[in-house]
A and B are shown apart, each in its own frame.
Chain A
Amino acid sequence: MRHFISTAFLIFGLGISNISHAKIDLVTLPDRDKTQLTIYNSADLTLVREQRTLTLKKGLNRLEFGWENTLIDPTSVQLRAPRHAGQVRLQEVSYPKGVKGSAIWTIESDIAGPVPVEITFFTSGINWHAFYMGTLSEDEQHLQLQGYVTIRNYSGEDYENASTRVIVGKIHLLDEIAALARRDTPYNKPDGSRGRLPMTMAVGAMKQKAYREMDMAEEKMQMNDMVAPKDIIKEGLSEYFMYSIAGTENIPNQWGKRLPSFNIKDIPIRNLYRFEAERYGNAAHRLVYFRNDKKHQLGNEPLPDGKIKVFREINDKQSLAYTGQVHSKYIPVNQEVELDFGAAREVKIEPVLMSEQTENYQFNNKGNISGFDRIQQWEIKLENNRDIPISVEVWRNFSNAYWDIDNARNNKGKFHKVDIDSVKYTVELPPQSKSTLAYTLTQYEGERQNR
């Protein structure tokens, strides 16, 4: 923290009713004793907790707190003296006219001498995300999953020897911390522009640059981290999950850090190819499933949402092929993970309308058509061009709740009515094989729905 607090913390004596105070008793602020960062990933927000020792006198003390050139939200700043609870109070924070990035604190103290205090505030510009590396076995029956936590700092501050925690969860936030940090007056003006400020180009470009540098830095850091991986302590709090990284970290401004979180081998997986025109278009999607539970050697913690780069072992584990990158949602303990690899090339599923006819016409009193049945014959062609057996799921959705279906007797697999307007077929296909699902669908239109 170069430009923040250390230079801008001046303690001066107080002439009470005199607003144009003179700076008396200038005290240099001691270094931070400890820093803790709690970093969120659902919003650009980090809770910073600093421990410092202030030398106070009995009565009112004035202190200048500055945050210029940082991304700190000045409205979030709090001061506590945990060891002297109730004896040290931050009475007033004043943001004088024309002074940007600075506030005057009035601290009332019942004690004189050095007082350890805790200062907490929000900053933007530090974030973290989860990242995974997946390796499929050659028969695609197992997956090795390596989880990482990546932290990036472009807050404008260096954080040294900071104990670091990251939070998984979706918090409700009213204002972006970055926008609060850039306000001219911390609480805006009464009639003023209360809305969020757009991010300026300069800040955007700064972030872009920082991100690029981070990517490079990250790889270097990762090499170092691999030498002695740190423990990550995991616990649930309210609806969130917290990862505490053992020991402390140095996270200089513009730097990133990737820490390994877990490495699980041989997770049994289920492969599925699913076709649902309304959801995926005309191609089957390739999906991989496993459950975040003990049976799958997981289940110790929720899996934060993040990117997974997936590879497959080939040539008797001698080399790797890149399967693709997917995004995983947040997966609580015991929930099934669905990884969607997108449109499959080697599995083809095509519904073909073979015939359509209408019958059972009904007429109203004026002789107009008031209802009829629409009868369609469908064949769904399934093709597995892979060298391994696969499971296929075909979903069919209907436009209304009034229909009957008649499945061909020689259909393979299972049929399941999911709800009022959708059905599902599940079929196992051997390697390099073809199959067909046939059904007759009768849809009732108009008055025929009241039959």
Chain B
Amino acid sequence: MKFQKTLSIFFITLAFSNLAFTSPAYARIKLVTLPDRENTMVRLDNPQATLVEEERILNLHKGINKVDFSWKAVHVDSDSIRLKIIQHPKDTRLINVSYPPNSQSLVWDIYSPEARQEKIRISYLLANIDRLVSYEAITDKEETKLDISSYMILRNFSGESLGPARFQLDYGEGFEKSINDGESKRMLFYQANQVKISKSFTFDAGKHPWEPNKQQTNVGIPIHYVLENNKNNQLGKHALWGGKMRIYQNDGHDGSIFLGEDKPAYTPINQKMKLYVGDSRDVVVTQRKTHHERKNIKRNRNNQIILHDKVETMQVTIENFKEGSDHQYH
């Protein structure tokens, strides 16, 4: 896919016959044809901003060349634009950068000691282009293992279509893709099967009502799956990015049901990922304070209490109404 109109990082190379300090009115002598973009690299490793690096070959003339870079209707952060001379870094020199009024463009003055080709690399931050990660996971009936598929979603609303470009993540080789302006693409990223999970039920006395039977609606006890980003789980090669994970369960009838979804946090290697799946209404926790007493009261000279111990007795009843259980714990 060729480079299209907009990021008309549009280059006009102008050369001057003499370094005319004497002649302030530069005359345009030669207009060089627009060079194609080569080796475009899109770095998606920073979730805050996307860095684009592209290489171009300029046909420079002897003397000062004016190279015009413009980004009309493209979300380029103008403060981030950098130019690097690659082929002859010692004697091809960037002399000056100027910003024409009222336009999204700049002009580089590049000095070359002779007429020759020069490879340059331009880097800039491009906004409104990023990647998301999403996951689809399916657990077995016993809820001990999870098969995870991870998807990468590229979203490009930057104003610029990117022809075959190398997308680089924070690890690995990256991949080559084209993506048009205004387009979103979902791609299968990686899969990990039979990832061990543990399931937990959490009652938080600071959050949940103590007497669920006095509530108008059922008080659910949150259920979490916990998995570890390690090699034993076919993971552990890189950090797992945060992203929406939809969790299904094998229903034992060649199909599945949807259990719930969560957006886990960024999970480094060997760290645990915790997924809030749903609420259990078959587990009921009731908490009561049955005794309260102040002990070891210390007073100051004015007979005011300055210290005391508080002794409280709690009774917590956990009822499990799940099938096959007949238990009640205190």
Contact = CB atoms under 8 A, between A and B. Distances in A.
Interface of A: 17-19, 36, 38, 40, 45, 47, 49, 75-76, 78, 82, 89-98, 120, 122, 165, 167, 169-174, 185-192, 236-240, 242, 279, 302, 305, 329-330, 332-335, 338, 364-365, 401, 418-421, 449-450
Interface stretch (B54-62, B78-86, B91-99, B122-130): B122-130
Given A19-B178, A279-B214, A330-B218, A92 B1 contact: no
B295 to A, nearest CB: 10
Nearest to A419: B288
Given A17-B178, A186-B184, A450-B297, A239 B292 contact: no
Interface string B22-40: 0000000000000000000
Contact of A237 (B249, B289, B302): B249
Contact of B185 (A38, A90, A95, A169): A95
A335 B321 contact: yes
Interface range, B side: 35 or more
B257 A237 contact: yes
A19 B259 contact: no
B294 interface: yes
A122 B258 contact: yes
A181 to B, nearest CB: 15
A171 B291 CA distance: 37
A19 B186 contact: no
B217 interface: yes
A283 B180 CA distance: 68
Interface in B259-290: 259-263, 276-282, 284, 288-290
B188 interface: yes
Contacts, number: 172
Nearest to A292: B321
Contacts of A171: 258-261, 277-278
Contacts of B281: 169-170, 239, 330, 332
B1 A172 contact: no
B164 interface: yes
Contact of A238 (B127, B132, B143, B326): B143
B223 interface: yes
B132 A187 contact: yes
A280 to B, nearest CB: 11
A165 B99 CA distance: 65
Contact of B187 (A91, A174, A449): A91
Contact of A239 (B132, B183, B282, B303): B282
Contacts of B282: 239, 302, 332
A237 B84 CA distance: 60
Contact of A170 (B130, B246, B278, B304): B278
A438 B157 CA distance: 75
A98 B246 CA distance: 28
Given A170-B281, A191-B127, A365 B302 contact: yes
Nearest to A76: B246
A332 B321 contact: yes
Interface-centre pick from A91, A171, A333 (highest chain B CB count, 10 A): A171
B173 interface: no
Interface string B126-158: 011110101010010101000000000101010
Contact of A190 (B155, B259, B276, B277): B155
A190 B260 contact: no
Contacts of B214: 279
A192 B322 CA distance: 44
Contacts of B127: 190-191
A122 B246 CA distance: 11
Top 10 nearest A-B pairs (CB, nearest first) are: A97-B182, A332-B321, A172-B260, A171-B260, A419-B288, A401-B292, A170-B279, A239-B280, A93-B186, A332-B282
Interface of B: 1, 127-130, 132, 134, 136, 139, 141, 143, 153, 155, 157, 164, 178, 180-188, 213-214, 216-218, 220, 222-223, 244, 246, 249, 251, 254-263, 276-282, 284, 288-292, 294, 297, 302-305, 308, 315, 319, 321-323, 326
Given A92-B186, A169-B278, A189 B304 contact: no
Contacts of A189: 128, 155, 157
30 contacts: A18-B1, A89-B188, A92-B185, A92-B188, A94-B183, A94-B185, A97-B181, A165-B257, A167-B257, A169-B281, A170-B278, A171-B260, A171-B278, A172-B277, A174-B263, A187-B184, A189-B128, A192-B157, A239-B223, A239-B279, A239-B281, A302-B282, A305-B217, A335-B319, A364-B302, A364-B303, A418-B288, A419-B288, A419-B289, A450-B297
B157 A334 contact: no
Contacts of B326: 334
B134 A191 contact: no
A329 B302 CA distance: 55
A401 B130 CA distance: 58
Contacts of B280: 239
Contacts of B155: 185, 187-190
A312 B188 CA distance: 60
B42 to A, nearest CB: 13
Nearest to A108: B188
Nearest to B277: A172
